Structures are given as structure tokens and as C-alpha cells.
Amino acid sequence: MSVTNLVSILLAAILTNNFILSKFLGICPFLGVSKKLDTAVGMSTAVIFVMIIATAVTWPIQTYLLTPNDLDYLQTIVFILVIAALVQFVEIILKKYMVSLYNALGVYLPLITTNCAVLGVTILNFDENYNFTQSMVNSLGGGVGFMLAMVLFAGVRTRLETSDIPKSLQGLPITLISASLVAISFLGFQGLVDGLFK
Amino acid sequence: MNAKNILVPTITLTVITLVVTALLVLTNGVTKDRIAELKVQAEEAAKKEVLPAADSFAEVILDTGIDGEEIIYYKADNGAGYVFSTSSKGYGGTVAVMTGITSEGEIAGITITSQNETPGLGQKALNTSFTDQYRMAIPDGGILVTKSGNSADNEIDAIAGATITTNAVTNAVNEAINIYHEIVGGGN
Amino acid sequence: MAKKEKSLREVFTAGFVKENPVLRLVLGTCPTLAVSTLAFNGIGMGVAATAVLVGSNAAISLLRNIIPDKVRIPAYITIIAGFVTIIQMLVKAYAPAIDDALGIYLPLIVVNCIILGRAESFAGKNKVLPSILDGLGMGIGFTMTLLLMGSIREIIGSGTWFGMTLNNGSIIQPMLILILPPGGFFVFGLLIALANKIAEGKGKEPAALGCGGCPMAENCSRAVSEEGGCK
């Protein structure tokens, strides 16, 4: 586990295996909250925040509590409950001690609880057998990739507002088709990580 | 009043959680033996597939001397050869490969034991038409990948549009070859 | 009663087309996009999700008068997670091929908005039998949509259907892009456009990311205020 290895995990999570455009985790907020740039940034910052904290808590729980006691099958239920509790807890702390941060992010926090992206990254860390540092890097990359996709897409959707769209495609369909085009552009990153590190 | 407002919901939630957990423990008890059995069956079947001449296998642990890292491989009890379990990073995650190498230094076969590659694309690597390509005498300098379509003896034809998957499988096999060299060369 | 009592048959068939969870309520988008690369995967996911949906709807409906409103969401999540884990274990033990095919999306059923959404908007307020039928109907609607999308992507994208080769490039070169992530977005968008067109013909609203009764809906609207991202 060298620095190169960590950088390659980071780049892979952000670009080649982008959580939204490649793994389809976090589609609901992607489609729902990406209309304006500031909400997109607010939402993605909250996601990065929660992903990192969730990994920091779930990794030790699985490694030191569940696996040694043959309780792997409790992973799903333990993780989701931990994440839900964590988000509640963070919201309370932010409200009391970091009011400005709460005003910026607080409203997005409950939305992230039942979100594929956060639960997804915590499970993925174990599918890939990452150690603690690798898991943290993976989550950071996942969150940053989420933000990248959201911000880019917010730009695309702002342009869509002033375009002439056929009736049947208005609303959700054109949003999805635009998303597919953004996803194609990300396909271009295939082979980037391998190429850089070989 | 306030205590009741907090107490009742908390107790209800705790009870529900306990009941659910109990059900899970129960289901686990019922299914875990079968799940473990399936896993062992699949592994044994894979080992037999890549080294058909073998009858049964013994597990051997090799200390690489690096960072206390150990490599586990399987030696055929009847001396037919060895089976190695290696992996490499593919497109959608880790690609795990089992390679069977005879004691004469020939790759008897490979099989992909786990992967997360794209269906219809990288997953074409699961076809025997692809994995059969790896059956060859171990070449000097390892196995190479070619996209030209005309592969030399030490080359593998890449899957069209799935070079990353092809490279992952090839890297895993080359790693198995390296371990083989280490065992055989080290007079094991 | 302020609202009309729906007949059991109406409850059951609502999820097929009129209130199709994917194409009309726009719920469960994550797994829809992810597992519709192959028709087989689509059915596997659909069946697993339906099993969870029926189980959780039944359980939540049974307990609806006992669960205090304050801890509604955590209680729902616990029950749903329980069912998902049970299905996970059963699949691993008796249908491991489905476990391999679905991968991480099997445990992710626990955050599938369809299940939480139906728990909140139906099972929590109705009797057991209608809730079971609602779960079954929504599940069937989900499965049918996954089958449709999976088939389209598989047939055009790789020339096979359920693994059987229909077109090995002799008729027309398979369009790989459909199996890759962009293809998922694209086909999904077109299907919703089609569903909207049909709905328009019947005088109904086009599908919007309304979170269809997802309990997070009020947080959604707080988050986007006058933006109208989530209705």
C-alpha cells in the first residue's frame, strides 16, 4: 500500500469508476438536486462529509466486531442503522456548534441517509478488501467524483433551461439523456489509471 | 410525560430491532452450512477444472519473506502440478483467477473465479474460447497481450473493446507463473 | 372517509402501469440503471426486491399501530434491512448465480426508495392484505420494467437475450454503448419519454422526480425550495 496505490484508488474512484456515472450510486440526488450550481455543491459537500465519516465508523465495526465473530451477515443492517444514527448525530452537533455549516449542509443530511452512495461505498470498501487508509481514500474519491459529476451536470442543466425541447422529452427524459452524454465523456477516462501507473 | 414520550418509542424500537436480529440469527443458522459448502464445492471444482490430471490437493503456505506476506497455493497430491489463486485489478474491480500449472511447466488451464466486469463485454473473458488461449508452455518473459488478432505462441488475443479485462486476467496469470518459478526454482 | 376506498384489484394492479414505480413514480432508479444490462439480472433483482417488498409491507402493516410516529423511519429501515438480509442469505444458499449477477446491488435493496416509499405511503396506513397486494403489484411492475429495459439493452447491446445469442453481428453490429453506463441513462430516458407520451394521451401528468411518497420527500423539498426538483 504505497502512495502510488492510494493515488490510483483515488483517481479510479473519481474518474474511471465514477460513483454516479459509472456505478449508478446516488442517482436520486443527482437527478433531483443538480438543477442549480449552489444546491449541487451543497449536496455534494454533504455527501463527501457523510461518506468519510461513515467509512471511518463502519470499517472498524466490520473489521473488529462483525468479521471476527462470524457476524458478516449482519453487515447490511448494522451499516444502514449506523449510517442513519450517524447522520442524526452529525446534524445535532452541527446545529449546536457549527451553525453556519449547518445552514449550508444541514438540509441535505437526512436525504443522504437512505442513499445508495453512502451505503454503497461502505460495502464496496469490503468487496475490494481495502484496509483502513485505502477505504478512506476510496470514500474521499467517491465523494469528490460525486461532486464533479454533480457540478458538471448542473452546468449542463442550466443550459437545458434555455433550450427548445420536444414535449415528450421535457423534464426527466431529457435530463437522463443529457446524463448519458456526460457519462459517455467519462468513458474517455478508461485506461487512465492503468496507463499512469504502469 | 416527557419521559414517556421518549421511553415508549425507544423501547418499541429496541424490541423491533431485537426481534429482527433474532430472525436473522435464525436464518443464518439455517443457511450458513449450505453457503459454506457451496463455497468449498465451487473452489474444488475450479481447481479440478484448471488441473484435470490432479486427484486431490494439499494447501501449501509460502512465506515470501516480504513484510510477513504469505502466498497460499495448492499442490496436487499425485504430483500432477500446482494450482495458484491470483488476482489483478480489472475494469469493475478485482478479477480473481485460478491457474493450473503442470509439473512440466505447462499451463493446463485457467478459470476466472470472481469478477465484476461489464456483462457482454469484459465478461466475455468467462468464455472458454478466451480462457483456452492461456493453455501453453510457460513462455520466457511471461504472456503478452496483442490486439492485432494474429497472436504468436506467447501472446493472447485481447477481447475487442475489453483490453483492461484482458490485461487483468493476463497479469494474474503472469503472477501465477512467477510464483511457480519461485517454487520450482527454489528447489521446493 | 375522505378518500375513495380502492378495491383490492385496483391496489394490486396499480403498480403494473398506472403507478409503475420506475416509470411513473420514478423510484428505485439506482438498481434499474445498474442491473438492466442483462435480462436475467433484471429478473433476479426484480424477484429479490419483490420478496423484500411483500415481506416488509406485510410486517409494517401488521405493526402499524404499534410503531410510534417518532421512530417511524428507523423502525421501517430496521424491518426492511432485516428482510433484505434474509433474502441475501437465502439467495447465497439456494441461488448463488443471482448473488454473483447482482453483486453489491442486492444489499442495496435496503435503500431502494420503492420499498421505503411504499412502507410510508401505503403499508403504514392500510391493512395487511391490501399492503401485501400493493407490495406484490409494485414488485411485479418493477420486475416487468427491469425485464423490459434489460431486454432492450441486452438485445441491441450484445445481441443476446437471457444468454441465448440472437444476433452475433450478422444482422447488425451490436451496439456496445447500450450495455455501458451511458446506455443505461439513455434507454431509461427514452422509456420515461414513452411513458409520459402515453400518460399525456390519457390526460395524466408526466413523471417527475416526485420521490413518489418517499419519506424523504419533505426533506427533498426543503433542500430545493422553489427549485421544484422534488415535488
pLDDT digits (tens, 9 = 90+) for C170-214: 777 778 888 888 999 999 999 999 988 888 888 777 777 655 445
More confident site: A69 or C229: A69
Q: Which of A83-87, A149-153, B46-50, B144-148 has the lowest mean pLDDT?
A: B144-148
CB C16 within 8 A of CB B94: no
What chain C residue is nearest to B35 in terms of C-alpha separation?
A: C93
Per-residue model confidence (pLDDT) at position C214? 55
What chain C residue is nearest to B29 in terms of C-alpha separation?
A: C89
Cell numbers placing C40: 436475467
Contact list in A for residue B21 (CB cut-off 8 A) is 74, 77
3 state DSSP class of B127? coil
Task: Kindly compute the dihedral angle of the four CA atoms of residues A19, A22, A24, A28, in this order, to the nearest 10 degrees.
Answer: 70
Q: Please, which chains are in contact with A (at least 3 CB pairs closer than 8 A)?
A: B, C
pLDDT band at A38 (very low <50, low <70, confident <90, very high): confident
| C-alpha dist (Å) from residue B66 to A82, B63, B70, B185, C87 | 37, 8, 8, 18, 42
CB contact under 8 A, A28 and C113: yes
Q: Please, which chains are in contact with B (at least 3 CB pairs closer than 8 A)?
A: A, C
Cell numbers placing A184: 459517455
Per-residue model confidence (pLDDT) at position C145? 93
Residue C221 in contact with partner chain A when CB distance is under 8 A: no
What chain C residue is nearest to B6 in terms of C-alpha separation?
A: C70
Residue C108 in contact with partner chain A when CB distance is under 8 A: yes
Which residue is it, cell 419519454? C193
CB contact under 8 A, A111 and C219: yes
- Rounded Cα distance, A144 and A19, in Å: 9
Per-residue model confidence (pLDDT) at position B94? 81
10-residue block means of pLDDT along chain B (188 residues)?
Answer: 76 89 90 89 88 86 73 86 88 85 89 80 82 87 81 81 86 90 67
CB contact under 8 A, B12 and C66: yes
CB contact under 8 A, A177 and C229: no
CA–CA min distance C59, chain B (Å): 11
Task: Kindly compute the dihedral angle of the four CA atoms of residues C163, C168, C169, C173, in this order, to the nearest 10 degrees.
Answer: 0
| A and C: number of Cβ contacts within 8 A | 158
CB contact under 8 A, A114 and C185: no
Residue A67 has pLDDT above 80, yes or no: yes
Q: In which residue ranges of chain C is pLDDT below 70?
A: 1-5, 169, 209-231
Q: Which residues pair with B156 in a beta bridge?
A: B145
State the DSSP H helix or E strand holding residue B144, giving kind and residue range, or none if neither.
Answer: strand B144-146
Per-residue model confidence (pLDDT) at position C87? 92
Amino acid at A119: L
Amino acid at A129: N
Contact list in B for residue C81 (CB cut-off 8 A) is 20
Nearest to A24 among C88, C181, C200 (CB): C181
What chain A residue is nearest to B87 in terms of C-alpha separation?
A: A128
- Rounded Cα distance, C231 and C227, in Å: 9
Q: Please, which chains are in contact with C (at least 3 CB pairs closer than 8 A)?
A: A, B
Greatest alpha-carbon span in chain A: 60
ipTM (interface pTM): 0.85
3 state DSSP class of C220? helix
CB contact under 8 A, C82 and B20: yes
